[in-house]
Amino acid sequence: MRKYLLPQGGRFYKANLHSHSTVSDGEKTPQELKEMYKERGYSVFAYTDHDNFVTHNDLTDDEFLVINGHEASCVEAIDDPEYAWRKVCHLCMLAPTPHVQSAPMARDFGKGYSREKVNNLIKKAKEEGFFVTYNHPTWSRERYDDYMNFHGFDCLEISNYNCIAGGIPEYNEGKYDDMLAGGKRIYCICTDDNHNTKYFNDSFGGFAMIKAEKLEYETVFNALKNGDFYASEGPEIHELYIEDGVVTVSTSPAASVRFSTSSRRGRNVTSEKVGTEFVTSATYRLAADEKYFRITVTAPDGKRAYTRAYFLDEI
């Protein structure tokens, strides 16, 4: 029996779920960001200004949906005027409905940075129904013992375009696998984290493709909660399903499609191996003892798309 892992119905909506405007340290107004992203084909946009929850429901229209949120910041209290050495934890918190008027703030849980503070902040956000993404751990100077002891968040930034454009190698596949192997059942996402400074371009480099029945706040939010999306820097995933123990994925023209699992087993389907110019579909037969799998699609230009981890006991 065939089971679609990305829903068969509905349509994909392109989304940037991490951004900064003039409400905090971004250079573009909320209206300017809407115009920029709508022109580039985005349908969903989350305003996540630092430690400042402001609703922008007035910017939603029939073709553009605003998700309200903010980025909570837990910051290590050390003497560091250049902000080069502090350890921080940043969490994007997206509100479950457009009617939410406030959000849990890092300052509500005391000053500074601690594991207890981060976990209490995540717990409070989840109790209030927020979707919580753990952001850019490389830029944040957080290591294995840090991120493995944060609990309850929904999603990891597997890439962050602002960090990458600014010189930080914010590609987090390895950290994602650490978390999955450690028992965290979380999603992954690519974001811009755009500030639109004059120093480098940090827009249009990381996004989510959310599969939903309609462009409505609660419908799109529920698709996020259900994991009905994939993360991308460019490549597209058109279809993904499992049938009789075989996973099948179809994609835009790719250089490779890689299946990663909870074990050492896996498969990397490349254009060279299949004897074609591009890979546009690939399959992988799951072993009975594997706990999860995920897929990475690499385009000819090196940009990647990532599915979330799918756990076999949930399929």
Query: What are the mean pLDDT values of the chain's consecutive 10-residue runs (315 residues total)?
Result: 96 98 98 98 98 98 98 96 95 98 97 97 98 98 98 98 97 98 98 96 98 98 98 98 98 98 97 86 96 98 98 94
Q: 94: which residues sit within 8 A by CB, 6+ positions away?
A: 17, 46, 48, 67, 68, 69, 130, 131, 132, 133, 221, 224
Q: Same domain, yes or no, for 269 and 160?
A: no
Q: Establish if 67 belongs to a structural domain.
A: yes
Residues 216 and 272 in one domain: no
pLDDT digits (tens, 9 = 90+) for 111-148: 999 999 999 999 999 999 999 999 999 999 999 999 99
Return the H-helix or E-strand segment holding 14: strand 11-16
**Beta pairing class for 155-160 and 187-191:** parallel
What was the pLDDT predicted at 273?
A: 77
The encoded tokens of residue 124 equal 């409070």
Check residue 312 and give its pLDDT.
96
CATH number at residue 94: 3.20.20.140
Claim to verify: residue 216 and residue 242 sit in the same structural domain:
no
**Residue 76 forms part of a structural domain:** yes
Q: What is the pLDDT of residue 274?
A: 72
Q: Are residues 165 and 41 in the same domain?
A: yes
Whether 3 is covered by a domain: the verdict is no
Spacing of C-alpha 81 from chain mean position? 30
Are 187 and 305 in a shared domain?
A: no
Cα(288)–Cα(302) distance, integer angstroms: 32
What pLDDT is attached to residue 276?
Answer: 82
Token pair in block for residue 190? 């690519």
Task: Say what the pLDDT of residue 307 is.
Answer: 99
Q: How many CB atoms lie within 10 A of CB 158?
A: 24
**Residue 50 shares a structural domain with residue 130:** yes
Q: Is residue 1 part of a domain?
A: no
* 203 within domain boundaries: yes
51 and 116 share one domain: yes
d(Cα 33, Cα 35) in Å, to the nearest integer? 5
Domain identity same for 192 and 69:
yes
**How far is residue 40 CA from its own chain's centroid?**
19
What is the count of structural domains for the chain?
2
Q: What does 104-116 look like in DSSP terms, one character per residue?
A: --GGGG-SS--HH
Q: What are phi and psi of 178, to 5 degrees?
A: -55, -50
Question: Are residues 297 and 226 located together in one domain of the fold?
Answer: no
Assess whether 220 and 261 both reside in one domain.
Answer: no
Of 201, 231, 261, the position where a domain reaches its end is 231
Q: Are residue 97 and residue 49 in the same domain, yes or no?
A: yes
Do 39 and 156 lie in one domain? The reply is yes
Q: What is the DSSP string of 205-226?
A: S-EEEEEESSS-HHHHHHHHHH
Q: Which of 190, 216, 231 is the C-terminal boundary of a domain?
A: 231
Q: Which residue has the tokens 């309850």?
A: 152
**Residue 178: per-residue pLDDT:** 98
Residue 108 inside a domain? The answer is yes
Has residue 2 been placed in a domain? no
CATH number at residue 266: 2.60.40
Q: What is the extent of the structural domain holding 95? A: 8-231
Listed residues 231, 264, 286: the one ending a domain: 231
Residue pair 233/159 in contact (Cβ under 8 Å)? The answer is yes
Domain presence at residue 111: yes
Backbone angles phi and psi of 154, in degrees to 5: -90, -30
